[in-house]
Structure formats: structure tokens, C-alpha cells
Structure 1
């Protein structure tokens, strides 16, 4: 038989989604894959019911239904401080996963280099490899997850075509400051590189931190492909509605790539989601407060257990240090914890280029009662670990 594509050997399946499958097998509380166990807003659910009874069940325009693009352009123009053209500067995709892949394939040719900050969301390296590009890693140093501008410049000097920027960051919860973004902007201008942003947690940022859209920085819209989705903002991860925002000449290319990747996002879901895109600013303020309460509640519980962590500035993930439990392998630890403690996390090594085996990632996009149950189980973690090691 002929060989399979050799690129497959350069990355594994999703470790995050693998942890969900193991959690389901052992009926563990799933704090690994980042999806809520609560419903989206009632207005959105009602809108979906109405659409289901209507006649919008066939293909929409491949790059996004007209009213969806118009509503999205209106919302994002307000938040990004830009005047976004719904006809020329938006492509609607099947989730931000496709948005990132389409962006990568639009700007990168085989043999190009792409800067990826480490730790990174696991898709980025795979996106680069599948595009035929070579990822060049730049460290975000824990626990603050700051970068060294000299290291970044050394990477960009290598003739890099694009830089991937996740802000707020998954998995670390870091929110890049405006001054950090300005350093990145200066360097990508100097070395003439694109920036592909992943901003799915744009509305989950905790005071005093603030989210700055990279495309909104002076002169940066022309070289930025802004990727995001509705998944986290409206608690509809299963709807798979994402998008790209970029200058028309980039979007023209992205339309072609997207057309042959998925044809288009689901028409009924786009129609229903227009309701959410028209929510007023109070919705986003309440969203931030809701997740801030969840964060503080969960962190208080971790403090009481005695677990060490980095306090997230945005998104809904926590990196926890497991050094004290004397596991040589974080994947082994996570599998053991699912079976013995009944809580699922993601091994930190799946997010780092370097050999990092002492961190795991929890998420807290769960009902308060779910987090209470998880913390009650995690209280047993130190003793169970001690028993294992004796």
C-alpha cells in the first residue's frame, strides 16, 4: 500500500479532545476541553427555534449570509474601533478552527516560516505543518508568560511570513499589554510579516487588564488577519460559527480557500446568531463579571487545597503546577487523576515546544455546582498522590 501523508507524523491527535474522551469513559468532571455545561442566552435559543420553523435551511453565500456579515461588521467595528466593510473584509467560517486554517493557507506558501508563541493552543503547530510552513517558537516564560523582545526579533529575522498571536491567551490566560503589542507591531513592520490573531476570548478579560485588538494599532490593519468566533462569547461552541476580518485583498484569497475547505457555515445557525450579534454592551459587561466570579470561586478552592497556579488575566483557563506530586509525565498524571480523582485536565506539555511536564490546564466554564463538585474531588488529590508515591 502507498504511504500516507508524511505531515501526519509531525503532530498527534488533539490531546485536549482525547482527555474529554477519557473523562467520558470514567465519568469524570471534564475541566479539560473548554466548553460550558450551561445554556446560551434564552434570546438566542428562542431565535434558533424560530429559524428552525422557517425556510432558511439551504446554502447561504459561501463567505457568510448577508445579514450575519452586516451584524458582525457592526458589532466588531464598535469594539475594534475600525470601520469594517461586511462585503469586502469578512469571511464567515465553520468555527475559529477553520478561520485559523484558512488564514494560514491564505498567507503562507510551502517552506514559509511562522512564529508561534509557546505555550500555544495545540492547533497552531498543526495548522502551520498542514500549510507546509515551518513553526518557529518564541517562549512565553511562566509564571508571568512574558516574552523577550530580543528572542522575538531573532525569530522574525529568519524571514518569517507570519506570526500567530492568541490574545487573551489559551492556555495561560495572559492578556498582552498594549506596550507588548506595540513591540510586536514594530517588529512585524520591520521584518514585513503578517499577524494572524486568535481573539476568541476577546470579551473575557478581567480588570484591571484590557483587551487591545492588534488590528486596531496604528498601521496594523493592513497586515493583520483577525480570527475569532461566537463560541465562547455566547456559549455556543457546538454551533461552529467563526470568522476572519482583514483587508479586502487578503479576504479575497481567504474566500477562495474557505470555499474549498467547507463551502460555508450553517445557514440556520447564522440566521439565529444575528440576534446575539445585536446584544447591547451590557451583555458583554455581564459576561465578564460572570466569568470573573467563576474564576475567583475556583481559585479560592485551589488555594484551600494548596495547589499552585498562575492567576488568569483573561479567558477561562488556569495553569496549575503539579511538581509536588512527583510524576515524571504530565500525561500520565492527567490520566491517573481522571481515574483516581474523577477530574479531567489537559497536560501542559501539549501546549509547549520545550519539555515542560510540571503544568496542567483546568478550565472553569462550568456551573458553580459543577465547580463545587470538582473542587470536592480535588481535595483528595494531595492524599491520593502521597499514597501512590509510598
Structure 2
């Protein structure tokens, strides 16, 4: 008889897969999983076809297409005024999740502690568990989802080796301001702690606010790994192409693990993204306004409903509170209710927590959708 105990016995099918399957089963409007329902830029698709026809169909360099790494370095230079070496400090990865995973496996050993702010992306804690580390979950302070810095200070121990930051934040849509970073620096600058900064929504910042990258702070420059996503930026989540940026020392450690987790990213996608970024710098320049208009359309429609909300500061997600509608239902039950009775699907916020706060009544909707989809969604939600 075979006997192979699970390394992740508590992990089942992700809530994202469950909700998308429910939407398909019920023919419901799917505002759960985070992907656009509109096409990628036509020129980008043409560049992909050109790349495949030109023969870019074999392995790329394990660290990524150099010209694309140079484009990433240019973005950091233009936005943050920092100089990254594309050869030694940037790696192109097949999506952001593998970048997060390889970073954790490279830096966390058995018994090490990793601070995670809840609600949190669902890949963080399992990756820590597989590295035989221990996740220390600290809940953000509702309703604004701010960091409790006193609690962070209390939770840092001699075993703390990593703090995972996510800004703009999925699922809440909040962003870290400069003071948040300064608070973090004050706590860790004299300790053997690295920052893993998940910045996949870095270009989706609203209302004239600014994105602060971990690498933009000199005190964090040598102790941070930043993870980004081309899929989020260019509406091609299915291309699974992202990047990691870090100091040469941390990047060396990252690549030692990454090369055995995934040899390289998809070559024609990297070539296509390079050419598109070179020829269409306006895409990223206009991205915040593009998504803010969608957020504004969605929240304007929500004003006709009984849901409470605070406008998202970034990402393409909007959280809503349904306390005034069905407080008798927990958020998973509420998602089921909305799907079955109103034909619209959301994500329950509780799945992003290790321990769900008492009386949490919040859902996450994705507004990376066409105007028609958002109009229809708002009509549905106004009737709930």
C-alpha cells in the first residue's frame, strides 16, 4: 500500500477556482477571480505573433530576456529614481507566484518565522509551510486595513527572518504610504530580516496617490525582494509572466532555487512584452486613469445599493460590507446566496485570513471588466 502524507493537509481547491466554477455552473456574472474580461492591446498580440513567427520559440535565458529586464530597470529609474542592474538584480519569471515561492524557499529555513499581514494572498503561508518555516499572522486593522505597528514590534523575535508586504493590497485595495515604510524600517534596520514585497499592482494607483516600492528606500535596498507582474499591467494574466528585483546578494540566493523550480519564462511572451513596452510607454502612463475610471463606474453604481464600501486606493478589486443586507450569513454563505439568487459571484474575504475576525461581513469584487459588465453588475447589486 502506498502511503504519502500530504505536506499541505489543510489545502483544498482554491476559493478562486471554486467561485469561477460556481459562476459557470449557474451562468452567473463572474466578478470573483482577478482577470479582465476585455482583450489585451492589439499591438501586444501582434508582437506575440511576430515573435513566434520570427523563431523565438526555444528556451530563453534562465534569468529572462535581457531586453525585458532592461525595460523593468527603466521603469524603476523613471518612477523611483533608482538604478537596477538588469543582469544581476532582475529576473523574469513565469508569473509572480513562482517568484514569491522561490524567494521564500531561498531565504526561509526550518523554524524561521515569517510575518504575514491578513487578509493575505493565499500562496504566502503554504510556501512558508513547505520551507518548514512558521507564519506569524497579524490582522490589519479594519475598517481601513491599516498595520498595527505596535503588534508588529511585539511579534518580531530572534527567529523572524522575513516580513511579507503587499502594496497595493489584495484583497482590500489599500496602499502603503511613506510612513508605513518608515515604520517598518525603524523596526528591522538592525535585524537579520528581509522584506518580500508583493507589488504586482504597482501601476494601479488611484486619486493621485503614489506607489512606494520597497527598493526605493535606501535602508531596504539590500534587504528586499520585489515581485511584479506583467499580466496585471498589460491585461494578459494568462501569459504568466512576472519579475523579481533584488540586490545582487539576494538575487543570487533567489536564482539558486528558482532555476530548479522553473528553468525560464515563456520566450515569445517576453519578446512581445519587450517590443510593446519600447513602442508604447503610454500604456503604463495611462493605466491608473484607465482603472480608476472603472473603479469610479463601479462605486457610483454601488451607491444605489445597500452595500457599504470605501473606494479602493489601488488594484482592480473593491471590497464591500454587506452588514446591512444579510448579517445572518457569513461571507461564504453570502457568496453562495448572491450566486444562486442573484447570479453574481464574488470572493469571501474570510479565505484570506488564518483566523477570521468576528462579525466579518465583507466580499471582494473585481472591476477589471468592460463598462457593460460593470453596468450589469451594479444593476444586480442594487436589487440585492
> The TM-score by the shorter chain falls in which range?
over 0.9
In structure 1, the partner of 2:365 is 362
Gaps in structure 2 of 5+ consecutive residues: none
Name the counterpart of 2:200.
200
Report if the CA contact (8 A) 2:306-2:322 is conserved: no
Task: Using the TM superposition, name which of 216-225 and 328-337 deviates more.
Answer: 328-337
Question: In 1, distance between residues paired with 2:350 and 2:236?
Answer: 28
**CA distance in 2: counterparts of 1:329 and 1:131, whole angstroms:** 33
Alignment partner, residue 354 of structure 2: 353
Q: Deviations over 1:34-73 (max 9, x none)?
A: 1001112222111112112121111111121222222222
Q: Using the alignment, how far apart are the partners of 2:336 and 2:14 within structure 1?
A: 15
1:267-293 per-position Cα deviation (integer Å, ceiling 9, x unaligned): 111111102332565322321111111
Query: Gaps (5+ residues) in structure 1?
Result: 382-390
Separation in 1, partners of 2:13, 2:131: 17
CA distance in 2, matches of 1:359, 1:291: 22
SS of match in other structure, 1:200: coil
1:326 deviates by 2.9
In structure 2, how many angstroms separate the alpha carbons of the residues matched to 1:340 and 1:262? 43
Q: In the aligned structure 2, how far is the partner of 1:4 from the partner of 1:82?
A: 48
Matched, 1:374 2:365: no
Q: Distance in 2 between matches of 1:4 and 1:33?
A: 32
* Residue equivalent to 1:17: 17
- Cα gap change, 1:265 to 1:33, in 2 (>3 Å): same
Partner SS for 2:242: strand
Q: 1:232-251 to 2 correspondence within 5 Å?
A: 232-251=232-251
Distance (Å, rounded) in 2 between the aligned partners of 1:281 and 1:338: 40
- The Cα offsets for residues 211-242 of structure 1, whole Å up to 9 and x where unpaired, read as 11111112211000001110111111000001
Matched, 1:143 2:146: no
Whether 1:130 aligns to 2:130 is: yes
CA distance in 1, matches of 2:306, 2:93: 42
Give the drift of 1:206. 0.7
2 CA distance for matches of 1:3 and 1:320?
A: 44
In the alignment, what sits opposite 1:276? 276
In structure 2, C-alpha distance between the alignment counterparts of 1:240 and 1:77, rounded to whole Å? 24
- 2:332 maps to 1:331: yes
Q: Distance in 1 between matches of 2:4 and 2:76?
A: 42
Q: Tell me, in whole angstroms, the C-alpha distance in 2 between the residues paired with 1:29 and 1:373.
A: 9
Say if 2:63 is the partner of 1:63: yes
Residue number in structure 2 paired with 1:82: 82
**Corresponding position of 1:316:** 316
Deviation at 1:169, TM superposition (A): 0.5
Q: Distance in 1 between matches of 2:75 and 2:209?
A: 21
CA contact (8 A) 1:75 1:278 kept: no
The answer to which of 232-241 and 131-140 deviates more is: 131-140
Per-residue CA distance 1:125-153 (angstroms, 9 max, x = gap) = 12211222111012211111111211011
Structure-2 change in CA distance of 1:117 and 1:158 (3 Å)? farther
Where 2:189 maps in the other structure, the secondary structure is helix
Match of 1:388 in 2: none
Preserved contact between residue 92 and residue 241 of structure 2 (Cα < 8 Å): yes
Q: Is 1:50 the equivalent of 2:60?
A: no
Cα distance between partner residues in 2 of 1:48 and 1:367: 23
Return the alpha-carbon distance in structure 1 between the equivalents of residues 91 and 214 of structure 2. 18
Deviation, structure 1 residue 88: 0.6
State the Cα distance separating 1:170 from its structure 2 match: 0.5
Query: What is the alpha-carbon distance in structure 2 between the residues aligned to residue 142 and residue 208 of structure 1?
Result: 23
CA separation in 2, counterparts of 1:319 and 1:112? 33
Distance 2:316 2:209 in 1: 14
Tell me the CA shift for residue 10 of structure 1.
3.5
Aligned residues: 381
Q: Which moved more, 1:355-364 or 1:94-103?
A: 355-364
SS of the counterpart of 1:353?
A: coil
| Distance in 1, Cα, partners of 2:187 & 2:38 | 42
Q: Is the 8 A contact 2:306 2:382 kept in 1?
A: no
Displacement of 1:187 after TM fit?
Answer: 1.1
TM-aligned CA deviation for residue 263 of structure 1: 1.1
The 3 A distance-change label for structure 1 pair 331 and 44 is same
Aligned CA distance change for structure 1 residues 220 and 311 (closer, same or farther; 3 Å): same
- TM normalised by structure 1 equals 0.94
In 1, the alpha carbon distance for the partners of 2:156 and 2:276 equals 39
Shift of residue 33 of structure 1?
Answer: 0.5
